[in-house]
Structure 1
Amino acid sequence: MKTKFLFPNRFKWLGWLLFIPAFLFSISISLFDINIDQVWRIKVFAFSDTFILNSKRYFTWIENGVLDEVLLFCLVIGGILIGFSKLKMEDEFTNKIRYESLVWATYLNYGLILFFTIFIYGLSYLNVLIYNTFTLLFFFILRFHYMIYKLNKTTNDDE
């Protein structure tokens, strides 16, 4: 079957290589409240030096700890490669599972955002929005691979 928008299967291992360590480091940093602002401090180009509305300098170079940005890039790029790389055996039913998993993950993700919007406020809500940058991919990957696992298990049980 011809699929236009999926990466070749060989990219899936690279996705796992990026996603798993970044996910574990990010969860550890969050759970143990580790300050990473002083890690990997380098000069970077910034649209503003502080919050956009309070900024006195725009389009400038600042010194910033970039570990959080690197982890987020690894999470997102890894998640995209995992979720949108072809399986070894890709067919119409696999595409249906991929589509339904993506829709399911989208509903769950935005349902959780609405729920947290009602019950979480202040800077804690900012954490919800930060986690939201990769939770849609995370839910999609979990659901898709679980459904493929169930399909393979059912197929193997029938034989």
Structure 2
Amino acid sequence: MKNLLFPRIFQPIGWIMFIPSLIVGALIYFSVLSFAGITETVINDLVIIGIALGALFIVCSKERIEDEMTKSIRLASLLNSIYAYVILLVTCTILINGADFLVFAVFNLVLLPILFVCNFRLEMRRYYKMFEDEEQN
């Protein structure tokens, strides 16, 4: 099966998009930043697009060591992220009502990519640590 990953250069580009978008999104959510009119719409759209594309570039770019284990980690991370996403979605749907649910629904737009990036990077860190420990022995 052909590997359709982005070149490794896309990973830092993804981080450059992901981190600032996540920070601006958090500042807007906690009302530290506020905009009005068309500016608000444009900023909100840019935050969502930045998080989504940044996450895509981060997890779908080739790794330093790209082997079968990396593919397995990528797939397992996606599966675990989907499980966590659905559990959180169902729980919040049951527990949150009214206008607060609309706030959660907006947050929910970027929840899966955020979970996927966090899960994948954590698992890759564990793999690299294990790989380095084996090289030292």
**TM-score, length-normalised on structure 2?**
0.90
Structure 2 residue runs of 5 or longer lacking an equivalent are none
Runs of 4 or more above 6 Å deviation:
none
What residue in structure 1 maps to residue 36 of structure 2?
37
Q: Which of 40, 43, 49 is the equivalent residue of 1:67?
A: 43
Q: Does 1:79 align with 2:78?
A: no
Structure 1 residue runs of 5 or longer lacking an equivalent are 42-64
What residue in structure 1 maps to residue 82 of structure 2?
106
Q: Does 1:90 align with 2:89?
A: no
Structure with the higher helix share, 1 or 2: 2
Q: Which protein, 1 or 2, shows the higher relative CO under an 8 Å CA cutoff with sep ≥ 6?
A: 2
Q: Kindly state the Cα deviation for residue 88 of structure 1 after the two structures are TM-superposed.
A: 2.2
What residue in structure 2 maps to residue 15 of structure 1?
14
- 8 Å CA contact 1:26–1:71 kept in 2: the answer is yes
**TM-score, length-normalised on structure 1?**
0.78
- The one-letter code matched in structure 2 to 1:101 is S
Overall identity of the aligned pairs, in %: 28
Structure with the higher strand share, 1 or 2: 1
Aligned residues: 135
Q: Does 1:27 align with 2:26?
A: yes
User: Which structure has the bigger radius of gyration?
Assistant: 1
- 8 Å CA contact 1:83–1:137 kept in 2: the answer is no
